[in-house]
């Protein structure tokens, strides 16, 4: 038979590859690569893309506090609970892969709403915590200052007062503002006994915690906060004593006494333009050797700040009762601000009044004689009765 062999490969080699198989493999590989790229793109978009924030609008912020010992996982839980984070797992994976899962700083943060996990992580790791702000109003007492500090920084009021009293006592003794050490010891014993037996506690730091707005880092120790406040009040007093102080020199008033006078002026004044005149009235009384008869000193002794005083209150046995004792009380009755300190050092030298009473309109009527003062008091009481 003359037919040829139809299928055998005379060379003995393997069959030639099918081009269609190669194309299939390439298509599969391309599909895998494209799928991987699309997945990576989707993950990157979820990781770095903001949500819910218009491009032209500044994002709203939410305060979040990171406490000592918090892990990145517990932080993520907090962010989810506050509505700041949607992709918790992605946030943790990103933190781990970037090596920032152990870079948390404790503190208070203002975090934007509707931003990506990537930006949240950057805000927590790279940004500085928001400073804690403490505002001390003029005239408030040491115990209220302690409460304000405790609320802002998380310490206890007692811990702050202990630190503030220690800092103040050391400063006053070192400067000799109470005279010889025996005088400081007597003041310490008076403070330990209280303004009234069994009444409110007294503090070395009273008057020395400068009213102002402070910014502290999260976790600042109570002693550092107290030192900042006391140092500012000392600096203010030092700067005021650079001016000529004719009346104070004549009365031999040391800085502690000036601070005490300023605290009374702060408690009495309702208008800025009257502080210097009120200081002058009290200095006129001191020069004459009379009693100050200042209601705020009695209110301080009885812890009745802002309350109406009764006639029997004016007879309370206390070194702070200026109706019974001549001269200034032993120490400040609050923490005066810069304006009250200035008025105490630079009183209105043209004022020859010895009395003043409220005028019912936010100010005072100043009188030189007791007869004028009684008439002003009668007008004020009549006005109050008519208003009622």
138: tokens are 């003029």
Place of tokens 């090596």: 99
> Cα torsion for 351, 367, 298, 192, to the nearest 10°?
20
**Over its length of 388 residues, how does the chain's per-residue pLDDT go in tens digits?**
555 555 545 555 556 666 666 666 666 666 666 655 555 554 455 555 555 544 455 558 888 888 777 888 888 888 888 888 887 888 788 778 777 777 777 778 888 888 888 888 888 887 777 788 999 999 999 999 999 999 998 899 999 999 999 999 999 999 999 888 899 999 999 999 988 877 789 999 999 999 999 999 887 899 999 999 999 999 999 888 755 555 555 677 889 999 999 999 999 998 899 999 999 999 999 999 889 999 999 999 999 988 889 999 999 999 999 999 999 999 999 999 999 999 999 999 899 999 998 888 888 998 999 898 898 888 888 887 777 6
Closest CA to 233 of 266, 200, 201, 269: 266
In contact, 120 and 111? CB cutoff 8 Å: yes
Question: How does strand 107-112 pair with strand 213-216?
Answer: unpaired
Fold of 61-125: Dna Ligase; domain 1 (3.30.1490)
The residues of the chain that CATH labels 3.30.1490.480 are: 61-125
Residue pair 234/148 in contact (Cβ under 8 Å)? The answer is no
Q: Which residues pair with 64 in a beta bridge?
A: 109
Partnered with residue 61 across adjacent β-strands are 112
Ramachandran region of residue 71, left (φ > 0), alpha (ψ -120 to 50) or beta? beta
pTM for the full predicted model: 0.74
Count of helix runs (H) and strand runs (E) in the chain: 14, 6
| CA–CA dist 264, 259 (Å, integer) | 9
Q: Look at residue 40 and give its three-state secondary structure.
A: helix
Q: Measured between alpha carbons, how far is 335 from 259 in angstroms, rounded to an integer?
A: 8
């Amino acid at each position: 038979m003359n037919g040829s062999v139809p299928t055998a490969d005379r060379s003995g080699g393997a069959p030639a590859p099918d081009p269609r198989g190669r194309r299939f493999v390439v298509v599969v590989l391309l599909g895998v690569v494209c799928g991987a790229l699309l997945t990576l793109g989707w993950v990157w978009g979820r990781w770095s893309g903001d949500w819910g924030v218009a491009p032209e609008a500044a994002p709203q912020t939410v305060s979040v506090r990171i406490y000592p010992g918090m892990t990145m996982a517990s932080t993520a839980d907090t962010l989810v609970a506050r509505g700041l984070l949607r992709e918790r797992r992605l946030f943790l994976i990103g933190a781990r892969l970037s090596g920032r899962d152990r870079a948390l700083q404790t503190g208070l943060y203002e975090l934007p709403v509707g931003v990506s996990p990537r930006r949240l992580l950057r805000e927590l790791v790279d940004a500085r915590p928001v400073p804690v702000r403490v505002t001390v109003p003029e005239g408030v007492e040491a115990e209220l200052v302690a409460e304000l500090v405790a609320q802002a920084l998380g310490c206890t009021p007692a811990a702050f007062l202990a630190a503030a009293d220690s800092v103040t006592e050391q400063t006053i003794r070192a400067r000799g503002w109470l005279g010889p050490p025996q005088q400081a010891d007597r003041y310490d014993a008076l403070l330990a006994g209280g303004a009234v037996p069994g009444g409110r506690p007294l503090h070395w730091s009273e008057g020395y915690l400068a009213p102002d707005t402070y910014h502290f880092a999260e976790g600042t120790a109570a002693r550092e906060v107290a030192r900042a406040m006391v140092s500012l009040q000392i600096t203010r007093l030092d700067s005021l004593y650079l001016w000529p102080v004719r009346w104070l020199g004549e009365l031999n008033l040391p800085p502690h006494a000036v601070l005490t006078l300023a605290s009374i002026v702060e408690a009495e004044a309702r208008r800025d333009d009257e502080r210097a005149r009120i200081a002058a009235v009290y200095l006129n009384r001191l020069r004459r050797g009379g009693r100050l008869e200042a209601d705020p000193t009695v209110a301080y002794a009885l812890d009745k700040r802002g309350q109406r005083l009764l006639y029997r209150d004016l007879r309370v046995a206390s070194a702070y009762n200026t109706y019974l004792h001549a001269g200034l009380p032993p120490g400040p009755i609050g923490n005066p601000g810069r304006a009250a300190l200035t008025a105490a050092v630079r009183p209105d030298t043209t004022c020859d009044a010895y009395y003043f009473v409220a005028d019912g309109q936010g100010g005072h009527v100043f009188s030189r004689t007791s007869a004028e003062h009684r008439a002003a008091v009668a007008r004020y009481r009549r006005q109050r009765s008519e208003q009622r």
